[in-house]
């Protein structure tokens, strides 16, 4: 039986579409907003999605864009709107939607569109790596993405000044053209030649950290740097050491100074602390969709525990931790106990030091965030028990958590 996911914030429309499609023999799953749609898509793997455009939390086009960025458009999506415009329809189709239906939707048009969707075989595409576009709800990440794209419009190379907690590869993957070659200079020990550059034409050359490159790899980088225009290549390098330090290590001074002509210091994971729960959740979805782990989700309390780790190994360490959690748990939901076990800690108070060298309002917000994260962890993300524990009415508590940037999973939804 084909499974249809209906996403619409109006209960009357959801119930009407559910009744019509159920009478036609389809298995119907309903979602009232984007958050519910994300969970339903992961849990039910629908064959077709009917997606409303105008929704209060996240609009349908933004959700469609998010699914496209994460390689989650493995099913046909039919957009719906009572206030549709040609521009919106064109944008939705450009992003990957199969069709666009205007409300009120005629019965035959609805059934015809669903049948066409079920007949369409999804294109089989190679699994792409996560990029900054995979995290569209993070303001710092969106800002970083715009800066990177602006730089690459005018420069063929970029050096990222990085340290512990680096997201260097995530930045580089975001600048790689779709379906273009990826050439990791750090894995190439032999001298490269023109044939190698021809094979990488139009692609991106990457070095995780200049300080880790051998003399032979430094020569490969210099060789490629002189031929970027000819082979339509771009270069992204990470640098944990300064120009002077690299020169003192034996690097060619001219090469190093050229590499440092265009630099950017992206935020580290500790600086993106408030975005780590969303990043971990998206990593898990990506791993599940790629078949690398069994179907799993994570409790809000578990995601918040990941936020409190420094992640000196950067994005790669965070991804490895999420993968280990998904493979290591025997339950469908990764809980706080699983995270504490992975981090080598036992449940207890969240040990954080409140900085005192900040304005009173920011200090108050920091304390409130620590307070609610601590009790959210103790209550395993249960919003009802958290409301009782803190003495706040549920709606007020929900707004407070949203204001503080504390994400809530399905168990925390009102």
* Beta-bridge mates of residue 48: 4
pLDDT score at 85: 67
pLDDT score at 120: 80
Question: Number of helices and strands (H, E) in the chain?
Answer: 18, 12
pLDDT score at 236: 97
SS3 label, residue 176: coil
Size (the chain), residues: 414
157-161: strand order across its sheet? 182-184, 204-207, 234-239, 157-161, 263-264
Question: Model confidence over 8-64: pLDDT tens digits?
Answer: 999 999 999 999 999 999 999 999 998 889 888 877 789 999 999 988 878 888 888
Under CATH, domain 132-264 is a member of which superfamily?
P-loop containing nucleotide triphosphate hydrolases (3.40.50.300)
48-52 and 77-81 beta bridge pairing: parallel
State the number of CA atoms in the 13 A half-sphere of 249 facing the CB: 16
Question: Model confidence over 144-153: pLDDT tens digits?
Answer: 999 999 999 9
pLDDT score at 367: 82
Question: Model confidence over 145-187: pLDDT tens digits?
Answer: 999 999 999 999 999 999 989 999 999 999 999 889 999 999 8
Task: Name the token pair of 80.
Answer: 């719906």
Q: What distance in Å separates the CA atoms of residue 290 and residue 297, rounded to the nearest whole number?
A: 15
Q: What distance in Å separates the CA atoms of residue 154 and residue 100, rounded to the nearest whole number?
A: 37
In Å, how far are 49, 53, 183, 215, 339 from 60, measured between CA atoms? Answer: 11, 4, 36, 51, 33
pLDDT score at 350: 45
Third-level CATH fold of 3-119:
Rossmann fold (3.40.50)
Asked whether the beta carbons of 383 and 394 are under 8 A apart, the reply is: yes
- The contacts of residue 227 (CB under 8 Å, 6+ apart) are 194, 197, 233
Task: Name the token pair of 255.
Answer: 């090469």
Q: What distance in Å separates the CA atoms of residue 78 and residue 15, rounded to the nearest whole number?
A: 17
Backbone angles phi, psi at 239, to 5 degrees: -140, 110
Task: Name the token pair of 6.
Answer: 């209906």
Residues of the chain with pLDDT under 70: 84-85, 121-127, 345-358, 378-380, 408-414
In Å, how far are 89, 128, 298, 322 from 339, measured between CA atoms? Answer: 43, 27, 10, 9
- The pLDDT mean for the chain works out to 86
pLDDT score at 351: 47
pLDDT score at 122: 57
pLDDT score at 309: 85
pLDDT score at 405: 78
- Containing 298, the helix (H) or strand (E) segment is strand 297-298
SS3 label, residue 182: strand
Nearest-5° angle of CA 364, CA 368, CA 372? 175
Q: Where in the chain is the domain with CATH 3.40.50.2300?
A: 3-119
pLDDT score at 147: 97
27-31: strand order across its sheet? 27-31, 3-7, 48-52, 77-81, 99-102
- Which sign does the torsion angle of CA 153, 156, 162, 166 carry? positive
Q: What distance in Å separates the CA atoms of residue 149 and residue 133, rounded to the nearest whole number?
A: 12
Asked whether the beta carbons of 167 and 148 are under 8 A apart, the reply is: no
**Own/partner pairs for 247-253, CB < 8 Å, 24+ apart?**
249/211, 250/215, 251/210, 251/218, 252/218, 252/222
């Amino acid at each position: 039986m084909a499974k249809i996911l209906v996403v619409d914030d109006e209960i009357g429309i959801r119930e009407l579409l559910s009744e019509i499609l159920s009478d036609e023999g389809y298995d119907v799953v309903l979602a009232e907003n984007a958050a519910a749609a994300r969970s339903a898509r992961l849990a039910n793997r629908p064959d077709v999605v009917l997606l409303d455009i105008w929704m209060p939390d996240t609009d349908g086009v933004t959700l469609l864009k998010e699914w496209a960025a994460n390689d989650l458009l493995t099913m046909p999506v039919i957009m719906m709107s009572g206030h549709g415009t040609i521009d919106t329809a064109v944008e939705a189709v450009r992003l990957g939607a199969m069709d666009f239906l205007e409300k009120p939707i005629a019965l035959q048009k609805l059934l015809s569109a669903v049948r066409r969707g079920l007949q369409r075989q999804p294109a089989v595409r190679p699994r792409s790596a996560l990029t900054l576009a995979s995290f569209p709800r993070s303001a710092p990440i969106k800002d970083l993405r715009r800066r990177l794209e602006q730089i690459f419009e005018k420069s063929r190379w970029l050096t990222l000044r990085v340290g512990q907690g680096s997201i260097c590869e995530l930045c580089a993957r975001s600048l790689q053209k779709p379906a273009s070659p990826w050439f990791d200079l750090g894995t190439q020990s032999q001298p490269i030649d023109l044939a190698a550059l021809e094979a990488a034409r139009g692609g991106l050359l990457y070095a995780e950290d200049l300080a880790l490159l051998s003399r032979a790899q430094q020569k490969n980088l210099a060789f490629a740097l002189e031929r970027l225009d000819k082979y339509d290549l771009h270069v992204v390098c990470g640098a944990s050491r300064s120009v002077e330090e690299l020169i003192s290590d034996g690097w060619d001074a001219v090469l190093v100074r050229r590499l440092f002509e265009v630099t950017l210091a992206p935020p580290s994971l500790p600086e993106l602390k408030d975005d780590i729960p969303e990043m971990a959740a998206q990593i898990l979805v990506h791993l599940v969709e790629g078949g690398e782990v069994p179907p799993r989700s994570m409790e809000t309390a578990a995601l918040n525990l990941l936020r409190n780790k420094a992640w000196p190994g950067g994005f790669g360490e965070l991804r490895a931790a999420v993968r280990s959690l998904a493979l290591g748990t025997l339950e469908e939901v990764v809980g706080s106990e699983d995270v504490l076990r992975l981090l080598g800690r036992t449940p207890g108070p969240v040990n954080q030091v409140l900085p005192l060298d900040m304005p009173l309002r920011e200090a108050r917000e920091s304390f409130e965030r620590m307070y609610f994260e601590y009790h959210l962890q103790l209550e395993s993300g249960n919003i009802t028990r958290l409301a009782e524990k803190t003495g706040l009415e549920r709606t007020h508590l929900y707004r407070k958590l949203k204001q503080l940037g504390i994400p809530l999973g399905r168990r925390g939804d009102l």
